[in-house]
Amino acid sequence: MILRLAIASLFARALTVGMTILAIALSVALFLGVEKVRTGAKASFADTISGTDLIVGARAGSVQLLLYSVFRIGNATNNVTWESYQDIAARPDVEWIVPISLGDSHRQFRVMGTTQAFFEHYKYRQGRSLAVSDGAIMDDLFDTVISADVAATLGYKIDDPIIVAHGLASFTEHKDQPFRVSGILKKTGTPVDRTVIISMEAIEAIHVDWQTGAQVPGQATPADVIRGMELTPKAITAALVGVESPLQTFALQRAINQYAEEPLLAILPGVALQELWGIVGIAETALLAVSAMVVVTALIGMMATIFSSLNERRREMAIFRAMGARPFTILSMLVLEAMVMAAIGAVFGLVLLYIGLFIGQPILDSAFGLWLPIDTPSIREVWVIVGVICAGAIVSLVPALRAYRMSVADGMMVKT
Amino acid sequence: MTDTTLEITNVAYRWPGRAGFSLTVPHLSIAKGESVLLLGESGSGKSTFLSLICGTILPDRGRVDVAGTDITTLSGGQRDKLRAEQIGVIFQQFNLLPFGSVMDNILLPLRFAPARRERTGDATAAASQLCAALGLPTGVTRAKSTALSVGQQQRVAVARALIGQPPLIIADEPTSALDANSQAAFLDLLFAQTTTHNTSLLMVSHDPRLGERFDRVIRMEDIAQIERAAA
């Protein structure tokens, strides 16, 4: 009966109570939303590359290798010679190996030289493969496959010509050897989306007339002559490696790290991703802290509402007291009321979150490659709701204690 | 059970924070079934006197016996329970919780008084009977209390005070919000009920004209002394 009366009392103050509940609901939805985005971003991040057992590059930091080989951020300080690459490729425990050659660019996008095997072995988001949305994987020397973002940003269609610039943010272009867009990849939500892919041989081809980073003046080998040339790469930037059996991963890693002919580094992508997330993760923790503060603010708002209702409810409290309610009952009723508000707010917040997820999921996925799964509420989310209800109870103790003192002082008489 | 429902002996109360301002009541007793009108102007200490009887404040000395129990020996929680069990309270006005139904309001004291609830038996039936006896329209128990007229609200307050038949009814100017006709009708109904159930009634008013209907009329200044120290 007391609970029913408490709820009836809340209904009688529907407007202010509704606003308070709305504030709590929005703050809880925000908090849970940030939490969702955080875990989703972390998962998407970890899903950037999957199925690759080792990434091999010139010796540097593991995060640096990961950054330039997978995220196209920063540059390799050194290359891996073609001989070393072939040595590794020839090892019996290597099931497959995909070379990557970076260093050139097209507009703001990086150009990556690789082989057909890249499309076969590069996996993201738990084993999904790259797929073309339009056209086909390149098969001519001067073909290029561009990714979704490149096509969208620069407005390219199949068969459009592309001129690759030498280096990054450079004004010298490989004008003599224009490429043709042969395929456009589907959006993946990985750095591949911001990459122009050409073949390893093409990387060699466009540098035929170049020496030590500059075009030899007056020298321009015609395309058909280049096609006839031996276009074996001299060096690569990095290589993605798959092993025959997962058990051999560590042995192969050690062997590559101790490779005598050249200082090399092999990293486990998962481990390096975690290391990198450790750096990036500070920002998301800060975001979570801010949204937690919003929840606290909403609860303090509720406290203020209860405080301001106390004076107009003195009569109500006096009636309860006259009927034999103890001051503690008055206190409990106010705490109960706050808990009911917090509970309704928190559950409503959860509902808002799911509505938001249903609307936002496809948009976030296509715009940012951020996939937020819609699951039943996790244990963590349930704890958040329980936490909000408990926090609501604790916060309401402040006005409830005041009501307690008021009802002791007033007794059943109210001088209003 | 004694024949005395209420007995006050040598009670003295000093208002906190106001030095030299005190109320003393040497003796007052109300017999079972007796109706007493207590006349007093505002500021005569009536409210404090009622609070002392109801146990929401404690006297500095003396005894207050309600239905045979000296409430000055009880803890705060026990006094609250005793009030719920033994006393029905009617205010001047705004007696009812505005967000509750009439039924909620009538049953409210039983929530804090298990023995009284036990005595009542079928509480909702008892509430309906009381409403009928007090001339409230049938089906009124489901109505919101705010939908009622002031006179009807006061009658619901009487039903609430009477439910479970507590031995003592305390009424603090219950008719002051009513016009003369309603006053008479209200008192008729109230007395009909207190007589039927042999309930003691202590009603406070400033209106001496009501006196003829009571067994006894006492004046605040006759039973109590208020000391006011020069400020």
Q: Distance between CA B90 and CA B155 in Å, rounded?
A: 10
Examine residue A323 and state whether it is found in any structural domain, yes or no. yes
Q: Looking at the structure, tell me whether residues A342 and A236 fall in a common domain.
A: no
Q: How far is A10 from chain B (nearest CA, A)?
A: 9
Residue of B nearest to A413 (CA): B47
User: Residues A26-62: pLDDT tens digits?
Assistant: 999 999 998 888 888 888 777 888 888 999 999 988 8
pLDDT of A245 > 80? The answer is: yes
A73 three-class SS = coil
Structural domain including A261 reads 54-267
Structure confidence at residue A48 (pLDDT):
82
Domain boundary among A267, A295, A328: A267
User: Residues A312-330: pLDDT tens digits?
Assistant: 888 888 888 888 888 888 8
Closest CA to A3 of A394, A403, A389, A336: A336
Q: Which of B47, B96, B112 shows the shortest C-beta gap to A413?
A: B47
Residue of A nearest to B49 (CA): A413
Examine residue A305 and state whether it is found in any structural domain, yes or no. yes
A80 three-class SS = strand
What value of ipTM does the predicted structure carry? Answer: 0.89
| Residues A306/A341, Cβ–Cβ less than 8 Å | no
Lowest mean pLDDT, pick from A2-11, A154-163, A247-256, A406-415: A406-415
What percentage of chain A exceeds 90 in pLDDT? 33
Structure confidence at residue A282 (pLDDT):
84
CB contact under 8 A, A413 and B83: no
Q: Looking at the structure, tell me whether residues A298 and A209 fall in a common domain.
A: no
Q: Regarding beta strands A109-114 and A94-106, do their DSSP bridges make them parallel or antiparallel, or are they unpaired?
A: antiparallel
Q: Distance between CA B86 and CA B69 in Å, rounded?
A: 10
Structural domain including B171 reads 4-227
Q: Look at A229 and A81; give whichever has higher pLDDT.
A: A81
Q: Which of B51, B80, B96 shows the shortest C-beta gap to A324?
A: B80
Q: Looking at the structure, tell me whether residues A200 and A318 fall in a common domain.
A: no
Q: What is the DSSP string of chain B?
A: --SEEEEEEEEEEE-TTSTT-EEEEEEEEEETT-EEEEE--TTSSHHHHHHHHHTSS--SEEEEEETTEEGGGS-HHHHHHHHHHHEEEE-SS--S-TTSBHHHHHHHHHHT-HHHHHHHSSHHHHHHHHHHHTTPPTTGGGSBGGGS-HHHHHHHHHHHHHTT--SEEEEESTTTTS-HHHHHHHHHHHHHHHHHTT-EEEEEES-GGGGGGSSEEEEHHHH-EEE----
Q: Looking at the structure, tell me whether residues A39 and A153 fall in a common domain.
A: no
Residue A364 backbone zone (phi > 0: left; psi -120 to 50: alpha; other: beta): alpha
The residues, any chain, with a CB within 8 Å of residue A279's CB and separated by 6 or more, are A63
User: For residue B45, how many other CB atoms are within 10 A of its CB?
Assistant: 23
Closest CA to A307 of A233, A225, A401, A374: A401
pLDDT of A415 > 70? The answer is: no
Q: Looking at the structure, tell me whether residues A39 and A71 fall in a common domain.
A: no
Residue A68 backbone zone (phi > 0: left; psi -120 to 50: alpha; other: beta): alpha
Q: Which of A9, A12, A324 shows the shortest C-beta gap to B81?
A: A324
Write out chain A residues lying below 8 Å of B100, CB-based.
5, 8
Examine residue A277 and state whether it is found in any structural domain, yes or no. no
User: Residues A261-316: pLDDT tens digits?
Assistant: 899 999 999 888 888 888 877 888 888 899 899 999 999 999 998 988 888 888 88
Q: In what order do the strands lie in the sheet with B35-39?
A: B87-90, B168-172, B200-205, B35-39, B216-219
Domain boundary among A267, A292, A317: A267
Q: Distance between CA A380 and CA A269 in Å, rounded?
A: 28
Lowest mean pLDDT, pick from A160-174, A343-357, B79-93: A160-174
CB contact under 8 A, B91 and A319: yes
Top mean pLDDT of A201-215, A390-404, B179-193, B194-208 is at A390-404
User: Residues B100-135: pLDDT tens digits?
Assistant: 888 888 988 888 888 888 888 888 888 888 888 888
Write out chain B residues lying below 8 Å of A332, CB-based.
none
What percentage of chain A exceeds 70 in pLDDT? 95
CB contact under 8 A, B54 and A327: no
pLDDT of A416 > 60? The answer is: no
Examine residue A206 and state whether it is found in any structural domain, yes or no. yes
Q: Distance between CA B132 and CA B144 in Å, rounded?
A: 17
Q: Looking at the structure, tell me whether residues A340 and A404 fall in a common domain.
A: yes
pLDDT of A230 > 60? The answer is: yes
CB contact under 8 A, A8 and B108: no
Q: Looking at the structure, tell me whether residues A224 and A318 fall in a common domain.
A: no
Residue of B nearest to A328 (CA): B77
| Phi and psi torsions of A370, nearest 5° | -105, 115
Closest CA to B167 of B97, B68, B94, B93: B68
Q: Which residues of B125-157 are buried (b: 16+ CB within 10 A; e: fewer)?
A: ebbbebbebbebeeebbebbbeebeebbbbbbb
| Phi and psi torsions of A20, nearest 5° | -60, -45
pLDDT of B10 > 50? The answer is: yes
User: Residues A112-163: pLDDT tens digits?
Assistant: 999 988 998 998 877 888 888 888 888 888 889 998 888 888 888 888 888 8
Examine residue A98 and state whether it is found in any structural domain, yes or no. yes
Q: Distance between CA A160 and CA B96 in Å, rounded?
A: 82
Q: What is the average per-residue pLDDT within A332-353?
A: 93
Task: Report how many domains make up chain A.
Answer: 2
User: Residues B24-67: pLDDT tens digits?
Assistant: 888 888 888 899 999 888 777 888 888 888 888 888 888 888 88
pLDDT band at B1 (very low <50, low <70, confident <90, very high): very low
CA distance readout (Å), A335 to A206, A296, A386, A395: 75, 17, 15, 9
Q: What is the DSSP string of B188-213?
A: HHHHHHHHHTT-EEEEEES-GGGGGG
Residue located via tokens 């209907």: B213
Q: Looking at the structure, tell me whether residues A221 and A83 fall in a common domain.
A: yes
Q: How far is A6 from chain B (nearest CA, A)?
A: 9
Examine residue A275 and state whether it is found in any structural domain, yes or no. no
Q: Which of B91, B99, B113 shows the shortest C-beta gap to A324?
A: B113
Domain boundary among A242, A267, A292: A267
Q: How far is A326 from chain B (nearest CA, A)?
A: 6
Q: Looking at the structure, tell me whether residues A340 and A403 fall in a common domain.
A: yes
In the chain, the amino acid numbered A163 is I
Structure confidence at residue A352 (pLDDT):
94
Examine residue A415 and state whether it is found in any structural domain, yes or no. no
Burial of A185 (0-12, 13-18, 19+ CB in 10 A): buried
CB contact under 8 A, B47 and A321: no
Structure confidence at residue A171 (pLDDT):
63
Q: Regarding beta strands B35-39 and A132-135, do their DSSP bridges make them parallel or antiparallel, or are they unpaired?
A: unpaired
pLDDT of A389 > 90? The answer is: yes
CB contact under 8 A, A324 and B95: no
Structure confidence at residue A95 (pLDDT):
93
CB contact under 8 A, A5 and B99: yes
CB contact under 8 A, A323 and B76: no
pLDDT of A382 > 50? The answer is: yes
Top mean pLDDT of A71-75, A115-119, A373-377 is at A115-119
CB contact under 8 A, B99 and A11: yes
pLDDT band at A414 (very low <50, low <70, confident <90, very high): low
pLDDT band at A246 (very low <50, low <70, confident <90, very high): confident
Write out chain B residues lying below 8 Å of A315, CB-based.
94
Q: How far is A308 from chain B (nearest CA, A)?
A: 18
Q: Looking at the structure, tell me whether residues A35 and A96 fall in a common domain.
A: no
Q: How far separated are the first and last CA of chain B, in Å rounded?
A: 45
Q: Regarding beta strands B200-205 and B35-39, do their DSSP bridges make them parallel or antiparallel, or are they unpaired?
A: parallel
- Beta bridge partners, A111, equal A104, A196
pLDDT band at B231 (very low <50, low <70, confident <90, very high): very low
User: Residues B153-182: pLDDT tens digits?
Assistant: 888 998 999 898 889 999 888 888 788 888
Lowest mean pLDDT, pick from A17-21, A53-57, A192-196: A192-196
* Tokens matching residue B216: 């006894």
Q: Distance between CA A396 and CA A11 in Å, rounded?
A: 18
Q: Looking at the structure, tell me whether residues A377 and A394 fall in a common domain.
A: yes
Residue of B nearest to A407 (CA): B56
Closest CA to A202 of A227, A220, A219: A227
Structure confidence at residue A237 (pLDDT):
92
Q: DSSP secondary-structure letter at A324?
A: T
Write out chain A residues lying below 8 Å of B88, CB-based.
none
User: Please, what is the average pLDDT of chain A?
Assistant: 86
Task: Report how many domains make up chain B.
Answer: 1
Q: Distance between CA A71 and CA A190 in Å, rounded?
A: 8
Q: Look at A171 and A260; give whichever has higher pLDDT.
A: A260
pLDDT band at A88 (very low <50, low <70, confident <90, very high): very high
Residue located via tokens 């004209």: B209
Write out chain B residues lying below 8 Å of A2, CB-based.
111
| Residues A179/A143, Cβ–Cβ less than 8 Å | yes
We report the CATH number of the domain holding residue B195 as 3.40.50.300
* Cα-to-chain-centroid distance, residue B187: 14
Residue of B nearest to A408 (CA): B56
Write out chain A residues lying below 8 Å of B96, CB-based.
319
Q: What is the average per-residue pLDDT within A189-201?
A: 87
pLDDT of A411 > 60? The answer is: yes
